[in-house]
Amino acid sequence: MHHFRYEQDELYCEKVPLRKLADQVGTPSYVYSHATLKHHFTVFDNAFSGVPHLTCFAMKASSNLAILNLFGSLGGGVDIVSGGELYRARRAGIPADRIVYSGVGKTVQEIDYALKENILMFNIESDLELEAINTRAGELGIRARIALRVNPDVDPKTHPYISTGLKKNKFGIDIEGALRSYQRARELEHVEIMGVDCHIGSQLTDISPFVDALRRLRVLIERLQDMGIAVHYLDLGGGLGIVYDQESPPHPHEYADAILKELEGLSCTLIFEPGRVIVGNAGLLLTRVLYTKKSASKDFVIVDAGMNDLVRPSLYGSYHQILPVVKSDRDMQVVDVVGPICESGDFLARERGLPMVLPGDSLAVMSAGAYGFTMSSNYNSRPRASEVLVRDDQYFVIRKRETHEDLVRGEWIPDLT
Ligand code: LLP
């Protein structure tokens, strides 16, 4: 459910016509619906209302302060993967005791920062990281709360770049080796074992890999309990897929029912790290047609958003629906929608049926709320897009469009004479 819809041939975000945003804020811009963000967070969170749990939004999907602040105000926490994300989370008012820290490559500086902030827990991904965190905590005279991220070796059946729970992936600790690592963690003076963590991949449209992973985790948890290691938290990561095109992912309630059934009799607090399912369909990328052009074999629509703004089609071959901001009764045509970047891989859609468009028309690239702005770059020295939050009939620019000056901030020309 989202709040982008046509009214009399004009596409609206809640009660704001996108045409007005294109005129007043300019393009390219990311546009988010407040009601949709809130709805998606609440539906997910409420699906687990019967059990102790914490929903830690995976902020790599979308890290604007205003969006994080909204989830924080709804009782959410965040899953972070860098010092930069920790900084954003704290600036957005997320309490430290609702922050979990994942990622295979935490630096000493990042570990120290998170220890000083006293976050809820580190999700540790290797034995050497465990030693490093123990050392840093000792140095600072504190105990680090930790979980080990275990890799259950299940196939999430998603794009290979976003599968993480297979043996061959770089993430987590083999489930077979995990007991040894827990044993070691128990001996370490400056870490406190809080629980078990797992994340198997992203954009999962089937529930069975989650269930398979959970069954394997359950065996591990029971072994740990036999060893006298209490599991206070079970972090199940994120990964629930969304509809981009024809997918039919499970509803959060189906996901919750399946999980809760597997966990019957286990008393611990559940942590979830959903990203895409919360924000993916709550945001779109608004762009404007610059030119149209026909080549011998193809028709192109050249727009002012490129792979630097939304890299998913180029990187993963992802499908994003593209809608005209103002509907027309012009003929349909099959086109490649491409950006201004000097790369053949710079496209938003290929061989796509669209009503004929003209220069100046605006288009909405749908389902761009997750891994859209956060993966954008300055390639070709293009200032990054603005971000706009719409609530009812009001809109707020929650990130200004970058300027040319922003592009060269921090650079200088040394005197080499
Ligand atoms: N937790 C951990 C440890 C993760 O690595 C991820 C995503 C999540 C949670 C959130 O997963 P989600 O609920 O959003 O599926 N850039 C790719 C997606 C990469 C996902 C990386 N990790 C894309 O645009 O599809």
- DSSP class per residue in 67-98: HHHHHHHTT-EEEE-SHHHHHHHHHTT--GGG
Q: At what angle do helices 127-140 and 175-187 cross, to 10 degrees?
A: 20
312 ligand 1 Cβ < 6 A: yes
Cα of 239 vs centre of ligand 1, distance in Å, is: 6
Indicate whether 112 and 48 sit together in one domain.
yes
Asked if the model's pLDDT at residue 27 lies above 90, the reply is yes
User: What percentage of the chain reaches a pLDDT higher than 90?
Assistant: 92
Q: Hey, whose CA ends up nearest to atom 6 of ligand 1?
A: 238
pLDDT digits (tens, 9 = 90+) for 63-79: 999 999 999 999 999 99
- Which is the catalytic residue, given 56, 198, 268, 342? 342
The whole-number pLDDT of residue 141 equals: 98
Asked if the model's pLDDT at residue 135 lies above 80, the reply is yes
CATH of the domain at 179: 3.20.20.10
Could you tell me if residue 413 is inside a domain? no
Residue in the structure block whose two tokens are 């890299």: 311
pLDDT digits (tens, 9 = 90+) for 33-47: 999 999 999 999 999
40 ligand 1 Cβ < 6 A: no
The whole-number pLDDT of residue 306 equals: 98
Q: What are residue 202's DSSP bridge partners?
A: none
Cα 214 to Cα 198: distance, rounded to the nearest angstrom: 9
Three-class secondary structure of residue 183 per DSSP: helix
Q: What are residue 386's DSSP bridge partners?
A: 29
- Which ligand 1 atom lies nearest to the CA of residue 201? 15
Tell me the DSSP string of 281-303.
GGEEEEEEEEEEEE-SS-EEEEE
Indicate whether 390 and 355 sit together in one domain.
yes
Cα of 222 vs centre of ligand 1, distance in Å, is: 28
Cα of 216 vs centre of ligand 1, distance in Å, is: 21
| 342 included as an active-site residue | yes
Cα 123 to Cα 80: distance, rounded to the nearest angstrom: 10
Report residue 206 CA to chain centroid gap. 19
- Indicate the range of 155-169, 180-194, 207-221, 243-257 predicted with least confidence: 155-169
Could you tell me if residue 407 is inside a domain? no
Element (H, E) at 20: helix 18-24
Indicate whether 241 and 292 sit together in one domain.
no
Instruction: Determine the structural domain holding residue 378 and report its residue range.
Output: 4-31+280-402
- Which ligand 1 atom lies nearest to the CA of residue 123? 3
Residue 142's alpha-carbon distances to 106, 126, 134, 290, in angstroms, are: 18, 21, 9, 57
Among candidate residues 226, 244, 278, the one where a domain is terminated = 278
Domains held by the chain: number = 2
Indicate whether 252 and 287 sit together in one domain.
no
165 ligand 1 Cβ < 6 A: no
